[in-house]
Structure 1
Amino acid sequence: MENKRPKPGYLLSILGMRCPRCRRGEMFTHKNPFKKIKLDYILDMPETCPECGQKFDLEPGFWFGTGYVSYALAVALSVTTFVAWLVLVGVSTEDNRIFYWLGLNGILLVVIQPWLMRLSRVIYLYFFVSYDENYQQSKPFEFDHKL
């Protein structure tokens, strides 16, 4: 009987920034996005997945859609921090507590931006490429440009 590897979890694969097709290969060349604050370092990706050969840049201009995903992540994070601030600290019209939240939220978004940029690329690619249990025997996903 063949010894099958267990299917990697969906959410853990996204947060671990793994290839959507095999959920095992690393999507980024460098593990730590905070080591160098240079865009070409933060978003440096191999051409294909080292495990299954899935091409990451599916077509020219493919990554432009990640701006929408990044925006949605920033809004979700801001809503989450606002609710946490509302519950823990509170909001009042009598003082400037809302401005403290705005400042802290802005700083948080700037500090974690390299991670958010990477995460938005991973989530966006997961929209188009699905998990393939038999990735060793099948061809990687490509857009069909036939009209």
Structure 2
Amino acid sequence: MSYVKDKLSFVSNIYKEKCPHCGEGHVFEKGLSVFKIPVMKERCSECDYRFEREPGYFIGAMYLSYGLAIFQGILGFLVCNALFPGLAIEWIVASVILPMLLLSKKNFKWSRILYIHIFPW
């Protein structure tokens, strides 16, 4: 039971954008404009955990973001194809690109947080 609880806590902390060490502090600044790039805090406000280890630490998160975007594009295609079979190619392309664009800011955040959780120091 503890194993399941740990895994649910892991997923919950990533979804809520919480610190991988204490699970309380937020990783990103709150209240930014919709069109601004999210700003990551240097340290956790609760446990003083340092998020960025060294320059270039989050280059690996780029691959996670790419994987999330591809998954969302494929999911958009499958949903569009299931709901509207025989749709014109323009609409199918839009159904692939639109989820990627709408969720790009969230992908940026989730990929960095997931990377911190996978490779904690």
- Shorter chain as denominator, the TM-score bin is 0.7 to 0.9
Q: Once superposed, which parts of structure 1, at least 4 consecutive aligned residues long, lie more than 4 Å away?
A: none
Percent identical residues = 25
TM-score, with length taken from structure 2: 0.83
Structure 1: segments with no counterpart, 5+ residues: 1-5, 130-140, 142-147
Alignment correspondent of 1:62: 57
Q: Which has the larger radius of gyration?
A: 1
TM-score, with length taken from structure 1: 0.70
Alignment correspondent of 2:9: 9
Which has more helix, going by share of residues? 2
Q: What letter matches 1:37 in structure 2? A: F
Structure 2: segments with no counterpart, 5+ residues: none
Tell me the distance in 2 between the aligned counterparts of 1:106 and 1:81: 8
Deviations 1:76-104 (A, max 9, x none): 111111221222112x4xx61x3202113
When the two chains are superposed, the root-mean-square deviation of aligned CA atoms in Å is 2.1
Q: Size of the alignment, in residue pairs?
A: 116
Query: Secondary structure of 1:102's match?
Result: helix
Tell me the distance in 1 between the aligned counterparts of 2:119 and 2:24: 17
Deviation at 1:46, TM superposition (A): 1.7
> Which residue, out of 70, 73, 77, partners 1:75?
70
Deviates more, 1:107-116 or 1:63-72: 107-116
Q: What letter matches 1:45 in structure 2? A: M
Deviation at 1:36, TM superposition (A): 4.2
> Which residue, out of 34, 38, 45, partners 2:36?
38
Alignment correspondent of 1:101: 92
Larger RCO (CA within 8 A; separation ≥ 6): 1
Deviation at 1:31, TM superposition (A): 4.7
Tell me the distance in 1 between the aligned counterparts of 2:99 and 2:47: 35
Tell me the distance in 1 between the aligned counterparts of 2:73 and 2:99: 9
